[in-house]
Structure formats: C-alpha cells, structure tokens
Structure 1
Amino acid sequence: MAGNPPSETQIRVNSRRAGGGGGGNVIHPVDIDTPPRSSPSPVVYREVKHFKKWLPWLIPSFIIANTVMLAITMYVNDCPKNSVSCIAGFLGRFSFQPFKENPLLGPSSATLQKMGGLEVSKVVHEHQGWRLITCNWLHAGVFHLLANMLSLLVIGIRLEQEFGFIRIGLLYVISGFGGSLLSALFIQLNISVGASGAVFGLLGGMLSEIITNWTIYSNKLAAFLTLMVIIVINLAVGLLPHVDNFAHIGGFLSGFLVGFVFLIRPQFGWVSQRYAPPRYSSTSAKPKFKMYQLILWVISLILLIVGLTVGLVMLLRGVDANDHCSWCHYLTCVPTARWSCNTEPAYCMSTQTGNQLNLTCSSNGKSSLYTLPDASDSQIQGLCSQLCS
C-alpha cells in the first residue's frame, strides 16, 4: 500500500574480536541510515553469515587428541620395565621417568623418538618427513601438555567461534608444520615435540587478523597492543634453556601469513549495501574488500608458499641453518650465570660385567656403577641421561 510506511531491515552483528585476551573489543553493528517514520513497523533481524558465531568443536577435539597421545606414549614408555627407578610407581606402566631424565613428568627420549618425535637425522637420511607433522601431537610430559593445552583452549576456542573449524584447523596444522620446519633447520641434535608451534601460529593469525580487518575494530589500538604484549612475553619465555623458540618463531610467522589469507573479512560498507533494503543502500557500489586487504592476501600467500617450499628443500638437503647465521642460536636460548644453553644429548661408555653395569659420561667424565643384570638399551640410556645431567 502506498500509504504504509516502508519496513526497515536491520542487521545485527554479534561478534567479538580476539584482542589478546581482552574482552572489550566488540565490533559495532552495521549502521543503516533510515528516514523518519510516523508509525512503528516491524524490525527484521538477519544474521550476516560472515560474522556469525560458530560452535567450537575442533579445538576441544585437538585438546583431547593431544591428551590421549600422551597417555598412549606413557603406556608405550613402560617405565618400570625399561628404567631402574620411576616417579609415581603406583601408576604401573604409566609411571614417569626420573626427574633428572625428564623433569616434565613424562617419557624417555627413546620413547618420544619411537612415537614420531622430530629427529632431523631420520627426516634427512631415512626420508621420514612425516615426523614434521607427528611431533606436533606429542608432548614431553604432563607439565608440557598442560601449558600448551591451556594456551590452545584460551586462544583457539575464541578463534574457532569467530572463523569456523575449517580455517582455524588449517591455520593450526600449517603453523605446526612451519614451526617444525624452522626448528629442524636450527636444532638438529635433539628430539623435538610439542604443539607450541601450532599455538604460536594461532597468535600470529590473531595479529594478522587485527591488521587485515583493522577498520571493523571498535578499539583498534588497545586490541593491537594487548596482543603484542602477549606475543612478546611468550617469545621471551622461549629464551630459556630446554624451550624450542625456533618452533615458536616458525609457527608464529607461518600463522601470521596464513591469517592474511584465511581470516580476511568483508568491510561493513559492503555488508550494509548487500543486506539492507535497496532503497536504503548506498548510491555508489562498495567493494567487498579494501585494496590493502587484497594486496596483503596476495603477498602473504606467495611468501607462505615460497618460505615453506624453500625451507623443506633446505632441510631435505641436510642444510644446517646455523652455518649461515652465527648468532641465531641466541633466539632460542641466551646463556647466563644461572643456566647453560648446552642441551646436547647424553652419551656414555658402558661396560657390563655379570650383574654390574659401569657407565662413564662422555661430556662430564662422571662414572657410576649399577647393579643391573642384562641392562636393556633404554635402561642404559636413562641412566646415562641422569649421569650426564
């Protein structure tokens, strides 16, 4: 009817942006200019598909999978059978290695290697490239698992709610691979495990998401600075010994680039003209993405593909990145008077005479005699780790 006032369609955008733990960075609803009305008319709410909330299930599944993998690893480890002494012996074959060997309440290095931990020599010389992926699902102990899964819960749940399981799942896996790759190029003597590279990738994705979707933040600077503080603190922790900061850095850089590709969002001008009634839309058509978003998308995709490809080729050719960067080892550990950055694996000379096992540590020269008939290789390695620590 010509006498009836036009109906109004409003768009309700109910979305919170990840701001490094801050909960106050809320995107304002799309504003649509409407003419004055003489009488009330029905209001229709429509959810914009680009900003809808997703039900998170993938990140909780990742947490469960990592926990189950640690339980399986401890079952395979079977400390009472393969070690002289164990922690929490009442757990049976799930008991932990001695503190001197593994202070994180976990298995032996030999078990982690058997389960798929990242060992560069096996990737390069035995063509076991799958270790670059499997190592992300293993953890060195209970403390290690708790630290990573708590971070994953806090960061990942929110991202999956915002962007869905497909994009966040790809972000997680690609970041984990990137972290393993950089770690393998620089740390070639130790066995590396853990999901920290993938977790740092989520942090990197959050940072690039803030940058590429800058115009839709209600409190831009606060969100950016809060996230930067969290990133700097976490990277600073990686300067301590026995923490693989190269996996953190590789995962972060990979996630940062992936975020520009997967976490891009349309701007509100395009959303309003698409979902508002035609008579209220803007007279000039507005593009879905801003030019800077498209430029960042292209550059990031190229850098990601080139970076991962070049890194993988260098690794498979046996390149040691430390030969080309004499100071890079300081990125993962800074030596001080309180600790040493020497984390090379332990090697011992062993002699078995009847029930007596004599071990001599190659690095510090210490010797010890053990009453242990028919010692297995895993028992000798465990005792050697304790003797050399």
Structure 2
Amino acid sequence: MGASGKHETDIEHNGSARRSSSGKNYVYPSSMGAPGPIPMPIEDRRHRVFLIPLFVTANIVVFIVTMWRNNCPDHIRIGGKCVLRWLGRFSFQPWSENPLLGPSALTLLNMGGLERNHVIHQDEGWRLISCMWLHAGVFHLLANMIGLLIIGLRLEREFGFIRVGIVYLLSGFGGSLLSSLFVENQISVGASGALFGLLGASISDLIINWSIYANKCLALWSLVLIVAINLAFGLMPHVDNFAHIGGFVGGLLLGFVFLMKPQYGWMNLRDPRGEQPVRKYSTVQYVLFIVSLALVLALYTAAIIALFKDVDANKRCKWCHYLSCVPTSRWKCDGSS
C-alpha cells in the first residue's frame, strides 16, 4: 500500500464494479529517491472499440437481407396478410405466424438457421455458425443487439477485439452444439448464445481478476441475477434455452482462459531505475486457467463427437428437456400455445 491510502478509478462494470488501484498496482516513479506521499498508478491499456459495433452492423445487414429474400407479398397471396405491407418485399409475415415482426421459418432455414437433421444428415455443419447471425424478427434483433452493446463494448474496451471476438464466436458455437444435441425438428436462430457467452465471460473477469475490482460482490451478484432471470424466461416455449446454457457455460470457461489480467508488483525503491514493474499471475489464476482450458477442450470435443454420431441426448438425459421449456396450464412444450 502507498503511504497515504488508496485511490480508485471508476470504470464501467455493469454499473457497479470499478477498477481498483490497490497498493500492489502502484509503482513509485524513477525520479523519486524515496517513497513519496502518493504512489503513481500503472495505467491499464484501453483498447479501441470496433468489433462489437461491426458485429451489430453485420447482424442488422443479415436481417435486412433475410427480409429481402423472404418477400412476404410473393408467397402470401391473400390481401392484407403481410404486416406493414407498404414496405413491399420487406414487409413482415402475418402476426399469427411470426409475432416478432420477421420472416417465415422456411426463409430462416434457407438462410442458414440451425436444424439438427440438416447439420447431421445433410452435412451442413456450417449452420452451427450461420445461425448466430440470423434473427426471427425485429424485436428479437433489438433485444440481442442492445444486450450485445451493453455487455460487449466494455469487454472489448478492456480486453481488446481479439480475445472478445474469440469468446463471442466460440460461445455462440458452444450454444449451437448444445442446442443441436437436444432440440429436434425446430429451427433455432439468434445471437443470444454468444451474448450469454459474454455474460459468462463477464463473471469470469470478476472472479479471475478479483483483486483489481472494488464493489465486486455487488457486481457479481448483479450479473448472476441477470443470467438467472434470462434463463428463467427461457423456460417458456419457442425459446432455445439450450443455446443460452451452452453459450453461458462456454463463455464462463473461455473467460477464465482469455480474460486473465497480470498482477503488478513493486519496483525496487533502492534502485528504481534498474527495474520494471513485475508482472505476474496468482496461483489461483493459473489453476482456473488450466482447469477451464481442459474443460473447454473436453466438453467441445465430446459435444462435436456426440452430435455427428447422432447421439440422442434426450434419451441419455430424460429430464434435460425441462431446462428449455416447462409446461404449465398456460402453455405446452410441443410447440402449441
């Protein structure tokens, strides 16, 4: 610790966590012969943000292309069926078919929506990635893009586009894998698996870099609550909660692998010009890194093998279907309301 207390620099972290400059994050300047009253903080690098806005733009462009290809007036012959008909070929499917203001299920499938039989029996594994860029409607797109901006911008500013991009894409891929293992005869689209991955990575960031954040308990519980509420909504029909769960678990583990920050040491005050601050990782960080990397490799490999060997995961786990939909008096889980 410095001679006169502790200073903190606010950063965004879901509105509650702040970057904390504790004693071990300070280094005395080389011009000082002895410790002064206030140590100088080592500034963390802030990265330029461009990947998350690029992802948002890409999702919007893909949705526009999807609506152009859908061309509701061309296959809805009865007048007045398409929503917002004045948009022409960009008008939306009837409310009764798609209440999210979007295209038909067939269009989503043709554009690369995720469907188990196409992945396994028609050798279309690329759907595990393409489905991440498709959305079922305007409301679906808006919800995911707002969430992506809120969560993704902070992570990219903090860790850079390479690490955040890897976490985003691999999390979305993990969500697609789990969805394909359990969801049959349904089309799944959306960036929410990757978005849940960024939520999981945010939790990893707090845990693995625990010593450099203030108000971390509040931030951690806030994130856990957000995840729990969103997973609870996923228990309703027509929501692919397996993609959410797979993306979250993938992001949580990948966060421990890619979002680890080094701990700063002190310069030798007797000869400050001869040393640079010591950068090191704690034992806990190393353990979390190794365990998480092993789990990521094992789980992803097992999921890929099980999927392409056409393993029926629902037979292996009789109760797992309740993780995606719980029947009530108001709805059933067979696709009917």
Q: Does the TM-score normalized on the shorter chain lie above 0.5?
A: yes
Match of 1:112 among 92, 101, 108: 108
Cα deviations by residue, 1:17-73 (Å, 9 ceiling, x for unpaired): 63xx224523226334673669xxxx997864xx21112110001001000000000
Residue 244 of structure 2 is aligned to residue 264 of structure 1: no
> Which of 24, 28, 31 lines up with 2:21 in the alignment?
28
Q: How far does the alpha carbon of each residue in 1:73-99 deviate from its partner, in whole angstroms, 9 at most, with x for none?
A: 000001000123211110000000011
Per the TM alignment, residue 292 of structure 1 is displaced from its structure 2 partner at its CA by 1.1
Mapped contact 2:10–2:18 kept (Cα < 8 A): no
CA contact (8 A) 1:171 1:258 kept: yes
Secondary structure at the residue paired with 2:26? coil
Q: Which residue of 2 aligns with 1:97?
A: 93
State the shift of 1:220 in Å. 2.4
Task: Please point out which of 84, 91, 94 is paired with 1:88.
Answer: 84
SS at match of 1:26: strand
Matches of 1:196 and 1:32, distance apart in 2: 42
For 1:124, the equivalent position in structure 2 comes to: 120
Are 1:341 and 2:337 matched, yes or no? no
Q: Could you tell me which residue of structure 2 aligns to residue 207 of structure 1?
A: 203
Deviation readout 1:281-320 (Å, 9 max, x if unpaired): 9x9x966001111111111111101111110111111112
Distance in 2 (CA, whole Å) between partners of 1:88 and 1:286 is 62
Q: Which amino acid aligns with 1:54?
A: H
Name 2:177's counterpart in structure 1: 181
Check 1:278–1:208 CA distance in 2 against 1; reply closer, same or farther (3 A cut). Answer: farther
Matched, 1:133 2:133: no
User: What is the CA deviation profile of residues 102-145 of structure 1, one whole-angstrom value per residue up to 9, with x for unaligned ones?
Assistant: 11110011100110000110110111100000000000010100
**One-letter identity of the residue aligned with 2:158:** E
Residue number in structure 2 paired with 1:247: 243
Counterpart secondary structure, 1:338: coil
Q: What residue identity is the alignment partner of 1:93?
A: R
Q: Tell me what 1:328 maps to.
A: 320
RMSD: 2.6
Measure, in 2, the Cα distance between the counterparts of 1:280 and 1:245.
55
Aligned counterparts of 2:230 and 2:42: Cα–Cα separation in 1? 36
Inter-partner Cα distance in structure 1 for 2:257 and 2:195:
18
Q: Shift of the alpha carbon at 1:15?
A: 6.7
**Alignment equivalent of 2:193, drawn from 192, 197, 201:** 197
Q: TM-score, normalised by structure 2?
A: 0.89
Could you tell me which residue of structure 1 aligns to residue 50 of structure 2? 57
Corresponding residue SS for 2:214? coil
Aligned to 1:279: 271
Q: Which of 289, 298, 302 matches 1:297?
A: 289
**CA spacing shift, 1:135–1:31, aligned 2, 3 Å:** same
Q: Distance in 1 between matches of 2:269 and 2:300?
A: 46
Paired residues of 1:70 and 1:139 also in contact (CA < 8 A): yes
Cα pair distance change 1:24/1:251, threshold 3 Å: closer
Residue 59 (structure 2) aligned to one of 54, 59, 66: 66
Match of 2:300 among 295, 298, 308: 308
Question: Quick one: which amino acid aligns to residue 227 of structure 1?
Answer: L
How far did 1:338 drift? 1.4
The equivalent of 1:161 in structure 2 is: 157
TM-score by length of 1: 0.77
* Partner of residue 318, structure 1: 310
CA distance in 2, matches of 1:72, 1:46: 49
1:16 equivalent to 2:11? Answer yes
Q: Which runs of 5+ in 2 are unaligned?
A: 1-6
Structure 1: which 5+ residue stretches go unaligned?
Answer: 1-11, 345-388
Structure 2 residue aligned with 1:288, among 256, 280, 295? Answer: 280
Are the aligned partners of 2:204 and 2:255 in contact in 1 as well (CA < 8 Å)? yes
Residue 145 of structure 1 aligns with which residue?
Answer: 141
Distance 1:171 1:278 in 2: 43
The percentage of counterpart residues that share the same residue type is 51
Determine the C-alpha separation between the residues in 1 that align with 2:306 and 2:144.
Answer: 29
Range that drifts further, 126-135 or 212-221: 212-221
Distance 1:121 1:102 in 2: 23
The 1:334/1:162 distance shift into structure 2, 3 A limit, reads: same
Report deviation, 1:230: 1.2
**How far apart, CA to CA, are the structure 1 residues paired with 2:326 and 2:295?**
29
**Equivalenced residues, count:** 321
User: Against the structure 1 CA distance between its residues 224 and 316, is the aligned structure 2 distance closer, same or farther, given a 3 Å change threshold?
Assistant: same
Counterpart amino acid of 2:314?
N
Runs (4 or more) in structure 1 with deviation over 6 Å come to 43-46
Provide the C-alpha distance between the structure 1 equivalents of 2:86 and 2:52, rounded to a whole number of angstroms: 32
Matches of 1:77 and 1:37 in 2, distance apart?
Answer: 69
